[in-house]
Amino acid sequence: MVDVIGSVAAALALVWLVFELTNISLAGFGFLFCWAVAGYTIYGLLVWRRDGILIMKDRLATVSIWTGAIIALAALAAVIFYVVVKGFPVVIAHFPRFLVYDTSGGKSGNEFGVGQAIVGTVEQVLIATVISVPIAFLTATYLVQSRSVLARLVRNVVDAMTGTPSIIAGLFMFIIWVRPHGVNGKSGFIAALTLSIMMLPVTCRAALEVIRIVPGGLREAAHALGAPERRVVLRVVLPTARVGLITAALLGIARTAGETAEVLFTAGGNAHYNWDPFHGWQDDLPLRIFEQVFQPSREAISIGWGAAFVLMALVLILFTLARVLGSSRSGVRRRLWFRRRTRPVSENVVTSST
C-alpha cells in the first residue's frame, strides 16, 4: 500500500511539473490520463526492480482490478447521491401526498404526486416477471441439460437478444399490436409484454451460469437413488441454485424497471390513475420522469426528480426483500410454530428411558 501511495504521489508531482512547464491546462481528462499512466509506470518499475517481473505483473493486475472497481463504485455512488440530493427533499416536502396523488393535480390543482406511476410500474414489472422468469429458468435448465443442435440454436438466440436495444422491442410490439388497434392498442399489459421480452434474455443468461455451476455430484447421487430427471431438476438442481436464481431474476427486474422507450410506444402514459393494466393508457415511473424533466416549469422538473428517487428506492426495496428471502439455506422447510408436532411428555420419558 505504501508503494502504491508513493507511486501515485510521485506521478502526480511529475505530471503537474510537466504540465506547468509546457503551459498545458491542468483541468480535463488529459491530466487524469497522464497521471494514471505515469502512476502505473512508476509503480511497475519499482516492483520490477525490487521483486522481479512476475511479481510486477501480479501487482499491476491487482491495482488495475481495484482501480476499475473504485471507478465503477464512484460513478454509481455519484449517481445515487445526486438523485438523493435532488429527489429526496421533494418527496419529504410533500410526504405522503407525493406517493398517493397523481400528476393531474386533483381538484385543488396544486397537489401533485406520482401515485399513478408507482401503480403502473409495480403492475407492469410484476406481470413481466411472472411471464418471463419461469420461461427463463426453464430455458436455462434445458440449455444446461441438453447438448443438441436445438439447444445451441436457442443459446445463440438468447445471446443475440441480450445485446438487442430496448427500442427494438418497443417498435416490435408497436407494429404488431398498437398500430393495428390505434389509440385503444396501448395498455399496461402490452407494456408488460414488451418488458418481458427485454427481461427474458438477461434472466435466462444469468440463470444459465448459476445452474451450470451446481456440482455434478449432486445430480449423480440423485440419479443413483433412482430419481427421474424431472425430480432431479425440481428437487436438487433448482433448490441448490435458489439464491443465484433469485439474483438472476433481480437482474432482469433491474434491467427493465428503468426502461422508457418501450413504455412510451406501448403504454402511452397517463396523468390519472389506471388500476386496470388490460384497458386504457397507463403510466409508469420512467415514463413520468421522461415527461416531467422536459417541462419548462421548475415544479414539473422537481416532480421528475422525486419520481427518480421513488424509482431508485423501489428497486432497492425489491433487491433487499429478494436477498432476505433467498438468504436462508436451501432444502430447509419452515413450519409455522403452531403446526409443529410436539411429543407428549410421557412419550418423551419412555423414549429416553429405553
- Residue 237: the pLDDT is 85
pLDDT > 90 in the chain, percent: 9
Among 75-79, 253-257, 275-279, where is mean pLDDT lowest?
Answer: 253-257
Q: What is the mean pLDDT of residues 93-121?
A: 78
Report pLDDT digits (tens) over 307-342.
999 988 888 887 777 667 666 554 444 444 444 444
Q: Is the pLDDT of residue 209 over 80?
A: yes
- Which pLDDT band holds residue 351 (cuts at 50, 70, 90)? very low
Q: What is d(CA 262, CA 246) in angstroms, rounded to the nearest whole number?
A: 25
Q: What is the pLDDT of residue 85?
A: 92
| Whether the Cβ atoms of residue 123 and residue 192 lie closer than 8 Å to each other | yes
Q: Are 267 and 258 in contact (CB under 8 A)?
A: no
Best CA proximity match to 190, nearest among 180, 201, 204:
180
Rounded to an integer, the average pLDDT of 91-99 is 85
* Predicted pLDDT at 51: 83
- The rounded distance, in Å, linking the Cα atoms of 121 and 192 is 9
End-to-end CA distance of the chain: 65
**What was the pLDDT predicted at 325?**
65
Of 299, 265, 258, the residue nearest 282 (C-alpha) = 265
Question: What count of residues does the chain have?
Answer: 354
φ and ψ of 296, to 5 deg? -75, -20
Which of 15-29, 126-140, 147-161, 163-177 is least confident? 15-29
Burial class from Cβ neighbours inside 10 Å (0-12, 13-18, 19+) for residue 316 reads exposed
CA angle 263, 265, 270 (to 5 degrees): 60
Cα–chain center distance at 92? 26
Distance separating alpha carbons of residues 98 and 85, to the nearest angstrom: 17
Q: What's residue 106's pLDDT?
A: 55
- pLDDT in the model for residue 247: 83
Tell whether the model's pLDDT for residue 39 goes beyond 80: yes
pLDDT-based confidence at residue 105 (cuts at 50, 70, 90) = low
Q: Alpha carbon of 280 to those of 100, 101, 165, 277, 316: distances in Å?
A: 20, 19, 26, 7, 29
CA distance 81 to 76: 8
Backbone angles phi, psi at 268, to 5 degrees: 90, -30
The residues, ordered by sequence, that sit 6+ positions from 188 with a Cβ below 8 Å of its Cβ are 120, 123, 124, 127, 267, 274, 276, 277, 278, 282, 284
Q: What average pLDDT does range 246-270 have in this prediction?
A: 84
Question: What pLDDT sits at residue 127?
Answer: 93
Q: Under a CB-based contact definition with an 8 Å cutoff, are residues 192 and 127 in contact?
A: yes
**Mean pLDDT across the stretch 115-143?**
90
Average pLDDT of the chain is 82
Whether pLDDT at 169 is above 70 = yes
- Predicted confidence at residue 115, as pLDDT, reads 86
Lowest-pLDDT choice from 122-126, 228-232, 311-315: 228-232
Average pLDDT on 284-308 reads 87
- Asked whether the predicted pLDDT for residue 110 surpasses 70, the reply is no
In the block, cell 384497458 appears at: 279
Mean local confidence (pLDDT), 201-227: 85
Residues 47, 59 contacting (CB under 8 angstroms): yes
- Per-residue pLDDT at 347 exceeds 70: no
Domain boundaries, the chain: 2-87, 115-331
Backbone angles phi, psi at 282, to 5 degrees: -135, 150
250 and 322 Cβ atoms separated by less than 8 Å: yes
Q: Where does residue 99 fall: left (phi above 0), alpha (psi -120 to 50 degrees), or beta otherwise? A: alpha
Can you tell me the distance from the alpha carbon of 185 to that of 351, in angstroms, rounded to the nearest whole number? 70
Q: What is the mean pLDDT of residues 170-190?
A: 87
Q: Which fold would CATH assign to domain 115-331?
A: MetI-like fold (1.10.3720)
Q: What is the mean pLDDT of residues 132-152?
A: 88
